[in-house]
Amino acid sequence: MSTPELDVVEFLLTTELYGDDRDLDENDLPPRYRSVFWEDGTIERPLATTNETARAATGHERPWDAASGLMFTDRDDFSGTISFTKRELAESWFLERVDLDRLQTNPTLASYFEDHEDAPEELDYETAREANRPIQADRVWIDSLLEEYFGADDEDDQEMLDLVDVRAPEEIEITLDDLVLTADQEGEIDKIVTAIEHRDYLARIGLREIGKLLFVGPPGTGKTSTARGLAHELDLPFVEVKLSMITSQYLGETAKNVEKVFEVAKRLSPCILFIDEFDFVAKTRSSDEHAAIKRAVNTLLKSIDEISLVRDDVLLIGATNHPDDLDAAAWRRFDEIVNFPKPDSGMRADIFEIITQEMVIDEFDPASLGDKTEGLTGSDLRLVMREAVLSALTEGRTELNQEDLLAAIQDFEERDNLKNMDMIDGDADALVAGGDISGDDGDDGTAADGGHDHDHDHADHDHSDD
C-alpha cells in the first residue's frame, strides 16, 4: 500500500534515522532520496526535511498537506522544516501500514526496524542493502565525478565528453529480461556476470585477462540493446563511444581523446565501456588514413590491453557489424566473441509478441508472421509494426488485424528492395523516407521477451548466420 501520508512519513523517518546513525552511508538511502541530498560528491548530515526536499523525494506536490493531519507531525513556518513531534507514535503508525516488500527497499529503515517487535520477522538489513541500487549507479554520482575530473571550464574536455554517451542504469529502460537472446548469448552473459561477482577470487588466482567481449553481427540484431540491458541488470554506468566519431573530429586530439575515454571509464568504475563500430580499427590500420588517426587507433589497442575487469572494474564490450574486416591484432584483444545472428522464425515470432503486447490485434498469429519475415532483424520488425500502426491510424483505427501486419511486411520488403536499385544517380537510400530503413543497432535491436510464456525453446533453434 502506498499513500501520500505513508510516503511522507517514510521520508521523515528515513532522514531522521540516517542522521542519527553515523554507521550508515549513502548506499543505505534509497536512490530517490540520495538524488535529493547529493551535493559536491557527498551527502551532508543532518538532512534537510523541508517541503521542497520532501516534494522531490516523494513526488507529491504538497507533502505537508498530506502529513499535516497526523497527530505526530509539525512544520516550522519560518524555516519550512517538517518534523515529528513524537517519533514513537510515527514509528507505530508507520509499522501498522507498511509491508515487508516496501521495508526491504529501504536499508536505513531495515537497519532500524530489523529487530523491532512490530516489524515483519523476515525483515533483513543485509538483504535490503544488497538489493538497493548502489550510489555509483546514480546520475548525480556520475555527474559529480565527471565534473570533478573534467572541469566545466575546460573547453577541450567538454568537446571530448560530447563524443561519449554516459548513461546511468536508471536511465536505461531495457533489461535483459526484455530481450530475446540465443542460448549462446545467454551463456556468455551468465559467464561474465559470474566473473563480475567473483572478481576478488579471480584476482587472487591471477586470472586478470577476462571481461573483454566482442559482439559481432548485422545491424539491428541487438548488440547495443544487450550491452545496455547488461548495464541495467548489473547497476553499472554505461559509457558508449563510436570509434568513427572520436577519430574523425578534432584530428590532432584523437589519441588524447581515446585515452580520455578510458580515463572516464576508470573514474566511473565499476562500469561498462561499450565501443561501437570496432571494425573501424581494422579499416584504419590497413588504409592510408591520416597519421594522427593511426596513432589514435594504436592508442586504442594499447588501452584495451591495459584495462581489466578484475583490476579496474571495467567491463569492456566491443561491437562490430563487419567482423570480416578485423585482423588478428583486433581479435586477440577479446577473450569472448558473442555472435548476434539474424533471428530465426521462432525468435521473430517472440519479437512480434513483445512489440505488440500493448496493442489490440484481431486474429493475431505471431508464428505465421515469423515465417513470413525471413531475413529481417528485430529492428526491421519494429519498423514493420510502426508501418502497420500508422496505416491503421490513417483509417481511424486503433485496433489492428493480421492483415494489417501482413500488408506492412509486404510494404517493408518492397521499400527495402529500393535500396539495391540503381534507378537514379546518387544514393538509392534517398528513395526511402528516413534513409536506411533497416535501422541501426540501437534500442530497436532484437526485441524483448517481456516475460511471455512461449511454446518453443530458444535453445532448440538453429541460430546460424543467414
pLDDT tens digits for range 174-192: 888 888 999 999 999 999 9
* 145 & 266 share domain: yes
Say if 228 falls within a structural domain: yes
What is the distance between the alpha carbons of residues 234 and 237, in angstroms, rounded to a whole number?
Answer: 9
Q: Is the same domain home to 286 and 431?
A: no
Q: pTM score, two decimals?
A: 0.79
Last residue of a domain, one of 78, 108, 132: 132
Residues 119 and 153 in one domain: no
Q: In terms of C-beta distances under 8 Å and separation of at least 24 residues, what long-range contacts does 113-122 make, across chains too?
A: 116/91, 118/92, 119/95
Taking only the tens place, the pLDDT of each residue in 352-399 is 998 898 899 999 999 999 999 999 999 999 999 999 999 999 999 999
The residue-averaged pLDDT of 391-412 equals 94
**Does residue 42 form part of some domain?**
yes
Of the two residues 288 and 135, the one the predictor is more confident about is 135
Domain end position, chosen among 295, 321, 339: 339
Q: Average pLDDT, stretch 283-307?
A: 74
| Whether residues 329 and 379 fall in one domain | no
What pLDDT is recorded for position 35? 93
pLDDT at 456 over 50: no
465 domain residue, yes or no: no
Q: pLDDT at position 296, please?
A: 73
Which of these three, 132, 167, 196, is where a domain ends?
132
Q: What is the pLDDT of residue 448?
A: 38
pLDDT of amino acid 330: 82
pLDDT computed for residue 390 by the predictor: 96
Total domains in the chain come to 3
Q: Are residues 311 and 202 in the same domain?
A: yes
Task: Output the pLDDT for position 443.
Answer: 43
Whether residues 371 and 306 share a domain: the answer is no
CA dihedral in degrees (432, 434, 435, 440; nearest 10)? -130
Q: Say if 128 falls within a structural domain.
A: yes
Residue 436 is predicted with a pLDDT of 32
335 and 257 share one domain: yes
pLDDT (0 to 100) of residue 91: 97
Residue 387 and residue 316 share a domain: no
335/357 same-domain check? no
More confident residue, 32 or 282: 32
CA-CA distance, 262 to 282, in Å (whole number)? 20
The answer as to whether 455 is a domain residue is: yes
User: What's the CATH number where 148 sits?
Assistant: 3.40.50.300
State the pLDDT at residue 159. 66
Q: Which domain holds residue 302?
A: 137-339
**44-53, 66-75, 261-270, 336-345 — which is least confidently predicted?**
261-270
pLDDT value, residue 3: 94
Q: Which pLDDT does position 256 carry in this prediction?
A: 77
Residue 156 confidence class, pLDDT cut points 50, 70, 90: low
Same domain? For 85 and 153 the reply is: no
Residue 354 domain flag: yes
Q: pLDDT, tens digit, for every residue of 230-264?
A: 999 999 999 999 877 766 555 556 777 788 889 88
Place of cell 498530506: 66
